[in-house]
């Protein structure tokens, strides 16, 4: 009987061997398709008995029922499968032949889903596509391709900036030219569409970096720039525009130079925190960028991969602590809900009282931590981690040397084509040494390859080939 690929085959089996009438066979299809365990359980005895009555061997009948139960994990009806196959073919073609355009469309489609944007931004990085911060002079409403390997962040993705404001911003840019300063921007935009909070988000998200001023300076100048713009609009509405204002309009700008912005830039941590607040992720850099290899070695997976875990699966995850929400249980014990972020995604961590008691000193916003626990896939659609233990993650600066670490089972490495591997290294030369970590029954053994095999660890072609040979998590 081999494998039942489609749900229609299960219906045929139930009719031909178990004697199910068409309506009952359709009940089986519904139970399989919806993973309805109660309905499946109610059909089992009827199915097996029907098979026995038709002369089918008892073991075969049990095996066939097992086939029906297993089909719930993968099977579709034929028309559904055909549609999925067509979509998969089209998206694979677009990703292979128009990668930047494809990823821009994907990012735009998940723009309102905060947890998915970082995952796809990380995927862009793996594909050699750079995702640039928003820019009031270059960005469109959604994510847009601005170069062969370059995508610009969409303005609608900036916190507090609505579609109407973005459309007005783009129209004004098209008619009046690029925005030259925070003063110019405030004068040309309607404050009813862009309030102070939205303007602060644009500044913190890097959308006004194109003016050449520091973000700290623009934030300092924002109240005065907004007040100037409001006064000018009020005067215009009252018919009190001055001769100088009319001359400014005719000249297409301000006759008096705007006050210079001389405030030094804020420090890197504050800059990145502002980006995260405004656009939901770090774009210009990331607090974990300099220690990502160490983190990968200490964790089971990235946060972008946790959605594939089974309910109850034990994992160790690591990253940067975001928001921390402290609550008190019905028993009066403290517990917390913690947002954990890494380079690829985010997850909510449920920190139960006994874990929180031990971790309270270091489990705070912006802390780097490692958390061991079990995956919770129940409840709403969001995957959660129930913490069982937590510890600080303290990166070792000396451990982030320029290198490429290949972690693989010794037997798998021994069966690889060594000539192909050597050619792969020599075809992608660079300054980083290659370290091969072999997992053996006796433990880990590390081999440092010679200088003739030094590579560029950021070469996406090299990384893709190594992952194809040894697995997705082999390269660190």
Within this chain, do residues 305 and 196 fall inside the same structural domain, yes or no? no
pLDDT tens-digit series, residues 85-114: 999 999 999 999 999 999 999 999 998 876
Mean local confidence (pLDDT), 16-43: 89
Domain co-membership, 111 together with 209? yes
C-alpha 101/C-alpha 90 separation (Å) is 13
Report the sign of the C-alpha dihedral through residues 355, 358, 361, 366, in that order. Answer: negative
In this structure, are 121 and 69 located in the same domain?
no
pLDDT in tens, 213-244: 999 999 999 999 999 998 888 877 776 555 44
- What's the whole-model pTM score? 0.66
At residue 284, the pLDDT reads 76
- 380 and 411, same domain (yes or no): no
**Cα–Cα distance measured from residue 151 to residue 127, given in angstroms and rounded to the nearest whole number:** 12
| CATH number of the domain where residue 128 is located | 1.10.150
Domain annotation covers residue 170: yes
Tell me: do 299 and 438 sit in the same domain. no
Pick the most confident of 73-77, 106-110, 124-128, 265-269: 106-110
Q: Are residues 456 and 344 in the same domain?
A: no
The percent of the chain in helix, strand and coil, each rounded to the nearest 5, is 45, 20, 35
Q: Are 233 and 109 in the same domain?
A: yes
pLDDT at 195 over 70: yes
Is 86 a domain residue? no
Distance of alpha carbon 10 from alpha carbon 30, whole angstroms: 11
Q: How many CB atoms lie within 10 A of CB 49?
A: 13
Final residue before a domain boundary, out of 363, 395, 427:
395
- Assigned domain for 273 exists: no
Q: Can you point out the beta strands (E) in 255-383?
A: 314-328, 334-341, 346-351, 368-376
Domains identified in the chain, total number: 4
125-139, 191-205, 422-436, 459-473: which is most confident: 191-205
pLDDT at 1: 47
Q: Mark which of 362, 395, 428 sits at the end of a domain.
A: 395
Place of tokens 């270091």: 362
| Same domain flag for 427 and 387 | no
Both 385 and 405 in one domain: the answer is no
In angstroms, the CA 434 to CA 463 distance is 12
Q: What is the pLDDT of residue 263?
A: 92
Residue 244 belongs to domain spanning: 102-251
Q: Over the stretch 370-388, which tens digit does the pLDDT of each residue have?
A: 999 999 987 666 889 999 9
Place of tokens 């459309």: 167
Q: Does residue 277 lie in a domain region?
A: no
- Does position 6 have pLDDT exceeding 80, yes or no? yes
Mean of the per-residue pLDDT values for the chain?
87
Whether residue 89 is contained in a domain is answered as no
The pLDDT tens digits for 156-179 are 999 999 999 999 999 999 999 999
Same domain, 455 and 358: no
Question: Region 125-149: what's the mean pLDDT?
Answer: 90
**pLDDT confidence of residue 242:** 54
Share of the chain above pLDDT 70, in %: 93
On whether the CB atoms of residues 75 and 54 are closer than 8 A, the answer is no
Q: Which residues of 327-357 are buried (b: 16+ CB within 10 A; e: fewer)?
A: eeeeeeeebbebbbbbbbbbbbbbbbeebbe
Q: pLDDT above 90 covers what percent of the chain?
A: 46
Same domain assignment for residues 19 and 115: no
- DSSP-assigned letter for residue 475: B
Task: Please report whether residue 46 resides in a domain.
Answer: yes
The reply to whether 280 falls in a domain is no
What is the SS3 string spanning 35-84? CCHHHHHHHHHHHHHHHHHCCCCHHHHHHHHHHHHHHCCCCECHHHHHHH
Q: What is the predicted pLDDT for the residue at 392?
A: 95
Q: Does 402 or 149 have the greater pLDDT score? A: 149
Domain CATH number, residue 349: 2.40.50.140
CB atoms within 10 A of CB 19: 16
Asked if residue 107 and residue 210 are part of one domain, the reply reads yes
What pLDDT score was predicted for residue 379? Answer: 64
Residue 91 lies in a domain: no
Nearest to 95, CA basis, from 83, 85, 104, 103: 103
- The whole-number pLDDT of residue 74 equals 80
Domain boundary among 352, 378, 395: 395
Q: What does the pLDDT look like over 387-426, one tens digit per residue?
A: 999 999 998 776 655 678 888 888 888 888 888 899 999 9
């Amino acid at each position: 009987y081999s494998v039942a690929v489609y749900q229609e085959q299960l219906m045929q089996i139930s009719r031909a061997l178990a004697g199910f009438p068409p309506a009952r066979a359709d009940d089986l299809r519904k139970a399989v398709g919806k993973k309805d365990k109660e309905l499946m359980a109610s059909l089992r005895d009827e199915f097996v008995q029907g098979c026995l009555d038709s002369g089918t061997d008892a073991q075969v009948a049990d095996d066939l029922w097992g086939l029906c139960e297993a089909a719930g994990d993968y099977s579709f009806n034929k028309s559904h499968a055909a549609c999925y196959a067509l979509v998969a073919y089209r998206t694979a073609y677009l990703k292979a032949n128009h990668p930047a355009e494809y990823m821009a469309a994907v990012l735009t489609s998940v723009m309102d889903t905060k947890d998915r944007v970082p995952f796809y931004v990380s995927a862009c990085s793996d594909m050699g596509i750079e995702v640039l911060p928003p820019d009031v002079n270059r960005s469109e409403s959604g994510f847009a391709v601005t170069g062969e390997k370059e995508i610009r962040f969409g303005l609608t993705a900036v916190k507090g900036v609505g579609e109407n404001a973005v459309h007005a911003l783009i129209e004004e840019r098209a008619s009046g030219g690029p925005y030259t300063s925070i003063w110019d921007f405030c004068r040309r935009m309607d404050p009813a569409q862009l309030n102070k909070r939205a303007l602060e988000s644009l500044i913190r998200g890097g959308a006004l970096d194109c003016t050449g001023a520091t973000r700290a300076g623009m934030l300092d100048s924002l109240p005065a720039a907004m007040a100037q713009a409001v006064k000018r609009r009020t005067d215009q509405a009252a018919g009190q525009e001055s001769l100088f204002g009319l001359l400014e309009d005719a000249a297409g700008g301000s006759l008096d130079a705007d006050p210079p912005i001389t405030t030094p830039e804020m420090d890197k941590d504050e800059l990145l925190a502002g980006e995260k607040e405004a656009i939901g992720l770090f774009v210009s850099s990331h607090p974990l960028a300099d220690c990502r290899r160490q983190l990968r070695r200490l964790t089971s997976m990235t946060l972008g991969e946790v959605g594939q875990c089974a309910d109850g699966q034990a994992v160790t995850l690591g990253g940067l602590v975001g928001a921390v929400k402290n609550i008190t249980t019905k028993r009066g014990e403290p517990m917390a809900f913690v947002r954990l972020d890494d380079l690829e995604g985010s997850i909510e961590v449920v920190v139960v009282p006994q874990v929180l008691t031990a971790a309270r000193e270091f489990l705070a916003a912006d802390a780097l931590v490692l958390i061991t626990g079990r995956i919770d896939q129940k409840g709403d659609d969001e995957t959660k981690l129930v913490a069982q233990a937590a510890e600080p993650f303290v990166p070792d600066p000396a451990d982030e040397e320029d290198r490429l670490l290949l972690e693989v089972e010794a037997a798998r490495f021994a069966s690889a084509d060594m000539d192909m591997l050597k050619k792969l290294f020599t075809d992608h030369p660079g300054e980083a040494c290659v370290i091969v970590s072999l997992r053996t029954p006796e433990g880990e053994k590390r081999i440092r390859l010679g200088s003739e095999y030094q590579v560029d660890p950021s070469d996406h072609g090299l990384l893709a080939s190594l992952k194809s040979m040894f697995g997705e998590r082999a390269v660190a």
